[in-house]
Structure 1
Amino acid sequence: MNYKKLIVESGKKMAGSGLTVETWGNISARDPETQLVYLTPSAMLYDTITEEDVIVCKLDGTVVEGTRKPTIEKDMHLAVYRSRPEVNAIIHTHPLYSMVYATQGKDIPQIIDEAAQVLGDVCHCTEYALPGSPELAENCVKALGTESNACLIHSHGAVCLGGDMNGAFKTATVLEVTAQIYYMIEATGGKPAGISPENIAVMKDFAKNSYGQDK
């Protein structure tokens, strides 16, 4: 697979998805065979990034290809990969409704079936830390734990994981839809009815082991 091309195409996809604005957010992919990580460059418009702009590094942060400055959240991406070996793609987004909860330091619960199947666990919000700091990376790893495929970065955005890039985009989309529904429920004075832990477990198992043509 051409991972540099994947990063370029994924950046354009994110820019057109409404999941971020301008140069905010960042994207990475890990090659499970070489364990090399491919990252977007810092502060470049996604529709201008070329394969030559993509940065390639080892899990310890050593850059092996690329002359651009990597995303400020490089250490966050690498820390998540080190803690979650099943994850091979990460998208850091700045979506509107998820940001409503990130700026309040609030979690987003699994209130719809899609969230129960895709998000893996409650989407926890981290404690606050400065962008690009080691503390932010540590907080994200803690908030994600071993099960969740998404977390909110306090006052900053969301981090969405996947076994591949399609999976990461699916996580990002389901998280934002869940946040929008949650916001609309609260805005109308309602409260989510909730899904039982037993049913959440059944749906997680279904999504992992049964859903799709290849399972």
Structure 2
Amino acid sequence: MADTLTTSKAQLVALAHQQMQGAIQAPAWSTREKLALTCRILFDAGHDSGLAGQITARAESGDTYYTQRFGLGFDEITASNLVHVDQDLKLVSGEGMPNPANRFHTWVYRARPEVNCIIHTHPLHVAALSMLEAPLQVSHMDTCPLYDDCAFLAEWPGVPVGNEEGEIISRALGDKRAILLAHHGQLVTGRTIEEACNLAVLIERAARMQLLAMAAGTIKAIPVALAREAHDWISTAKRDQASFSYYARKALARQAHQDCIA
């Protein structure tokens, strides 16, 4: 006999969150391993654009972070070939050099102390949408984690290798988790690597859905209250862990990606 058919939605949501705390267990991957997995996950999700894009995560000590070695594609990144750099992009450890465009990550980290991972990429549909100088429109339940959480930089400031671009992008991002950069690409942030990875996968899907919907007709807005409800329902640490683990399992199932946590 069912006992919850008269239970309120608020109570059911609270119960589901409580159950997730015990039911969802994340693998004990290190920061380096999760960052390498993120590179492989995003390669599979269409974020590859040659050597463009940077993925960084705060290191365990000091104002330093891990990132991929410049010259390697996302599909070549492993936990062991990441570089460890300071805020001036000087090597702390590792071989080679970071992407010089990592400089604007430093500006975001300094402005947002709660952020522990930044992903900037040029995936196909995000890049196409950015050419229209149009902000991201969130009008579907699945993409609601980005509802009122994706800023828009309408003017391209040029290649992001200078401090000026860092100031502009970090200021435009504000307190949101994501930003669409006109004529450029996307940037997402996360308190965890898992959160940032999931948002990066999602923003490319959202851009693709928007372009498809725009080609078919006029996008209709969804109710604000329901959009915010969906944003908060999906945007939790446990759901981030569950989604990331799923994407990681898919990546590791591919022979070409099995070396990434080595």
TM-score between both structures, scaled by the size of structure 2: 0.70
1:127 aligned residue (152, 155, 165): 155
- How many Å separate the matches in 2 of 1:210 and 1:74? 26
1:91-110 superposed Cα distances (whole Å, 9 cap, x missing partner): 11111111112122221122
Task: Tell me which residue corresponds to 2:68.
Answer: 40
- 1:17/1:208 CA distance change after superposition, 3 Å: closer
Letter in 1 for 2:153: C
Among all aligned residue pairs of Structure 1 and Structure 2, give the percentage whose two residues are the same amino acid: 23
Q: How many residues align?
A: 212
Gaps of 5+ in 1: none
Q: Counterparts of 1:23 and 1:45 in 2: how far apart (Å)?
A: 6
Q: 1:24 maps to which residue?
A: 52
Deviation at 1:199, TM superposition (A): 2.9
- CA distance in 2: counterparts of 1:104 and 1:201, whole angstroms: 26
**Residue 117 (str. 1) matches residue 145 (str. 2):** yes
When Rg is computed on C-alpha atoms for both structures, the one with the higher figure is 2
Please report the TM-score for the alignment, with normalisation by the length of structure 1.
0.83
How far, CA to CA, are the matches of 1:173 and 1:209 in structure 2? Answer: 16
CA contact (8 A) 2:130 2:180 kept: yes
1:61-100 counterparts in 2 under 5 A? 61-100=89-128
Structure 2 contact 85–93 (Cα < 8 Å) conserved: yes
Q: Is the 8 A contact 1:126 1:139 kept in 2?
A: no
CA distance in 2, matches of 1:128, 1:51: 33
Task: Point out which structure has higher relative CO (alpha carbons under 8 A, 6+ apart).
Answer: 2
Show the counterpart of 2:18.
none
Per-residue displacement from partner, 1:148-206 (whole Å, max 9, x unpaired)? 22212222211122222221121112111111111111112x22211233333333333
C-alpha RMSD of the superposition: 2.8
**Larger helix percent:** 2
Structure 2: gaps (5+ residues): 1-28, 242-262
Question: For residues 120 and 111 of structure 1, what CA distance do their matches in structure 2 show?
Answer: 11
Could you tell me which amino acid in structure 2 is paired with residue 140 of structure 1? I
Answer yes or no: is 1:15 the counterpart of 2:40: no
